[in-house]
Amino acid sequence: MTEDVFAPPIGEWYHPSEELLKAAHVQDYDEVYRRSMEDVEAFWAERAESLLEWYEKWDQVLDASQAPFYKWFVGGKINIVHNALDRHTKTWRRNKLAIIWEGEDGDKRTMSYWRLWQEVNKFANVLKSMGVRRGDRVTIYMGRIPEIIVAMLACAKIGAVHSVVYGGFSEQALATRIEDAQSRVLVTADGSWLRGKIVPLKDVVDEAIHRSPVVDTVIVVKRTGQNVNMVQGRDYWYHDLMALPIASRQCPTEVMDAEDPLFILYTSGTTGKPKGVLHTHGGYQVQVSATLQWCFDLKEEDRYWCAADPGWITGHSYIVYGPLILGATSILYEGAPNFPYPDRWWRIVEEYGVTILYTAPTAIRGLMRFGEAWPNRRDLSTLRLLGSVGEPINPEAWRWYYTAIGKERCPIIDTWWQTETGAFMIAPMPSVSLKPGSATRPFPGIKVDVVREDGTSCATGEDGDLVIQAPWPSMLRTVYGDPQRYVDQYWTKYAKFGWYLAGDTARKDEDGYIWVIGRNDDVIKVSGYRLGTAEVESGLVSHPSVAEAAVIGVPDEVRGNVIYAYCILRNGYAPSLALADQLKAHIRHEVGPIAVPEKIEFVDVLPKTRSGKIMRRVLKARAMGLPEGDTSTLEE
């Protein structure tokens, strides 16, 4: 099932300016790509060596002996925090701003590399004093405040594995993720500001721990200051702990194996249980820093702003780790793009002199609705490059981003990648000419294609499966606690060829540019957020009134897709608008606001195959008023 359908414009090219090209890290993409393909391992080894410091060099770049359980930089010793912080504190960069933070309520804070390093050391010591050891999982559930970055880095520093759960998820989603990771320690905040209201993070934590009682220690950052319930002997204030003598400013960085786990990040898949995508210390940082440097052409003097949330992979790789490894100054903003007015983002660009802005098409479409007057009131002349991620960017939004925001000066770097890939896979750099709506060509060292079911390469313009044809350094290593799921999900369909299945439908054009159309599995992208149909469906059936549920994604002008839900009620319940509202509130509470269906329809039957599988394709066709296609497998 294809989530998004749009017709690529033909013949619309955007070429980089001479000025940008002359100063770019890479002058000739084609040549660099060609050379990388001659010896992929040598290409990555060179990047690993020139971008990073290793405690000990690797013996082997790639070990494919247990494919698809690939290992990278085998025998290498490293810690991502050494490269993201420690090394900078020994140079002039100790004085450079690492983070510029703005709260939605107007609070402001900055942190130099020196200051951030000290905070991380202190918090790492706090975690140790709470019994956190190498390999232990720590769940982090916070808003966009600097402490989320401190907490992630503190875990990595001592070799613990962080599992960040996006602050927009609710009770059940958090409980499931705590349970799966078996985290004893959880770091959170009393709340976070969003659209002028407090997101009650701590209340959600209390309820989630009630459901998953594995957590015995909760550390709470005071952000909003409202009263929260603190459980004696379990809950501690962050600022109290950071003031204790145990919170020393000195903390040795654990020497990790390149393949040691760094974090787990849960993402939606085809079953109700989210997948714990596991990334490691070595290969991950190589590809994250290499892609950020080349594709966004990041320079020492940049002021870089990735407006995603640290709780998603975009934030992990391109707010936290990538920019810090490259010693960049980056912006973190807590709240909504249009609060209190639709120019909030543009005011931030103006105030801090942002040079690179990275966001999602849904945000652009949302801001586009308010018109050009808002950005026009602000000085956006510092911008030199714009990024996009999360879903295909429709040409209309692309052109608005390009003209209204970038003033036709800034290339739009459309980056295709996934939680699983860890870093950009298909994305241009300044020496690649652009076509609105295409992420263009693969990064050097990355081999991709669009193929038919039998593995043959699709012809120009023909839809097929997007596959990655060789392992890459920042690839996920497994699904946490479920290696079989890792194999089944990603490596089985094209096992004969050893290719990774991305789960996206794509097509190539006559110039070899890749156009990603959308997901072809049971994943729905709502406002760029990834949701599994099964996660929403199990949320619905957890309500006493619902016997069975099916959800689908339906195209939406701003959000990309919205969710339509179809529910069969249990005996004794009658369809009503009030019940539909109750169900929406239930989903908001159980899964999170992003999962709330746009529409709930009560039905007597659901279209199923004879083997009992729900035919979402048929539901979708009906919802969109399209032909139902082949229904020969439909149950009587």
**Cα-based angle 163, 168, 174 (whole degrees, multiple of 5):** 45
Tokens of 170: 């609710």
Q: How many CB atoms lie within 10 A of CB 370?
A: 14
Residue 393, classed as helix, strand or coil, is coil
Using CB under 6 A, pick the residue from 111, 354, 383, 389 that binds ligand PRX: 389
Cβ proximity to ligand PRX: between 4 and 105 the closer is 4
Task: Show the site string, 221-260: x = touches ligand PRX by CB under 6 A, - = not.
Answer: ----------------------------------------
Which tokens belong to 153? 């880095």
418 forms part of the interface with ligand PRX (CB under 6 A): yes
Q: Exactly one of 167, 274, 335, 503 binds ligand PRX (CB under 6 A); which one?
A: 503
Minimum distance from residue 512 beta carbon to ligand PRX (Å): 17
Nearest distance from C-beta of residue 443 to ligand PRX, angstroms: 13
Mark the segment that binds ligand PRX (CB under 6 A) among 58-66, 338-346, 453-461, 517-525: 517-525
Among 125, 172, 291, 415, binds ligand PRX (CB under 6 A): 415
CA dist., res. 346 & res. 353, Å (int):
10
Question: Residue 144 — left, alpha, or beta (φ > 0 → left; ψ -120 to 50 → alpha)?
Answer: beta
Q: Report how far residue 270's alpha carbon sits from residue 393's, in angstroms, rounded to the nearest whole number.
A: 24
| Residue pair 270/522 in contact by the 8 Å Cβ criterion | yes
180, 391, 449, 590: which one contacts ligand PRX (CB under 6 A)?
Answer: 391
390 contacts: CB under 8 Å, gap ≥ 6: 314, 360, 361, 362, 525, 528, 529
- The distance of closest approach from Cβ of residue 313 to ligand PRX in the complex, given in angstroms and rounded to an integer, is 5
363 touching ligand PRX, by CB under 6 A: no
179, 183, 184, 187: CA torsion to nearest 10: -110
Question: Which residues face 567 on adjacent strands?
Answer: 549, 602
Stretch that binds ligand PRX, among 118-126, 336-344, 445-453, 497-505 (CB under 6 A): 497-505
Complex with ligand PRX: residue 253 or 314, whichever CB lies closer: 314
Taking CB under 6 A as the criterion, the residue among 504, 521, 535, 537 binding ligand PRX is 504
Find tokens 């039905």 and name the residue.
Answer: 603
Position of minimal CB gap to ligand PRX: 419
**Does 104 interact with ligand PRX (rule: CB under 6 A)?**
no
Q: Which stretch binds ligand PRX (CB under 6 A): 84-92, 98-106, 229-237, 513-521?
A: 513-521
Number of residues that bind ligand PRX (CB under 6 A): 22
| Joined tokens for residue 55 | 């405690």
Asked if 516 is part of the footprint of ligand PRX (rule: CB under 6 A), the reply reads yes
| Minimum gap (Å) between residue 503 Cβ and ligand PRX | 6
Looking at the Cβ atoms of 176 and 421, the one nearer to ligand PRX is: 421
436 binds ligand PRX (CB under 6 A): no
- Dist. CA 182–CA 276, nearest whole Å: 12
Going 414 to 419 to 421 to 423, the CA torsion angle's sign is: positive
Residue 75 region by backbone torsions, left for phi larger than 0, else alpha for psi between -120 and 50, else beta = left
**Of the candidate residues 414, 449, 522, 537, the single one contacting ligand PRX (CB under 6 A):** 414
Q: Does 437 bind ligand PRX (CB under 6 A)?
A: no
**Three-state secondary structure string covering 370-434:** CCCHHHHCCCCCCCCEEEEECCCCCHHHHHHHHHHHCCCCCCEEEEECCCCCCCCCECCCCCCCE
Stretch that binds ligand PRX, among 159-167, 348-356, 383-391, 532-540 (CB under 6 A): 383-391
264 binds ligand PRX (CB under 6 A): no
Interface residue with ligand PRX among 172, 217, 267, 293 (CB under 6 A) is 267
One character per residue 529-548, x = contact with ligand PRX (rule: CB under 6 A) = -x------------------
Figure out which of the listed residues 51, 155, 185, 439 binds ligand PRX, where binding follows CB under 6 A. 439
Cβ distance to ligand PRX smaller for residue 539 or 553: 553
Position 527 contacts ligand PRX (CB under 6 A): no
Of positions 204, 228, 313, 565, contacts ligand PRX by CB under 6 A: 313
Shortest Å, Cβ 181 to ligand PRX: 18
Q: What type of residue is 230? A: M
Query: Token pair for residue 171?
Result: 């009770």
Candidates 502, 514, 583, 619: give the one binding ligand PRX (CB under 6 A): 502
Please tell me the distance from the alpha carbon of residue 147 to that of residue 562, in angstroms, as a whole number: 32
CB of 166 to ligand PRX, least distance (A): 10
Q: Which letter does DSSP use for residue 87 in this model?
A: G
Does 164 contact ligand PRX by CB under 6 A? no
* C-beta closer to ligand PRX: residue 466 or 549: 466
From CA 233, how far away is CA 579, in angstroms rounded? Answer: 40
Binding-site member from 168, 323, 392, 442 for ligand PRX (CB under 6 A)? 392
Residues, the chain: 636
Which residue among 390, 422, 442, 471 contacts ligand PRX (CB under 6 A)? 390
The torsion angles phi and psi of 554, rounded to 5 degrees, stand at -120, 135
Q: Which listed residue (157, 316, 519, 586) binds ligand PRX by CB under 6 A?
A: 519
Whether residue 463 contacts residue 476, with contact meaning beta carbons closer than 8 Å, is answered with no
Torsion-angle region of residue 421: left (phi > 0), alpha (psi -120 to 50) or beta?
Answer: alpha
Distance CA 324, CA 83 (A): 8
In angstroms, the CA 235 to CA 225 distance is: 16
Residue 491: name the closest of 502, 482, 499 by CA.
499
If DSSP codes are grouped into helix, strand and coil, which group holds residue 73?
Answer: strand
Name the site residues for ligand PRX (rule: CB under 6 A).
Answer: 267, 313-314, 389-392, 414-419, 439, 502-504, 516, 518-519, 525, 530
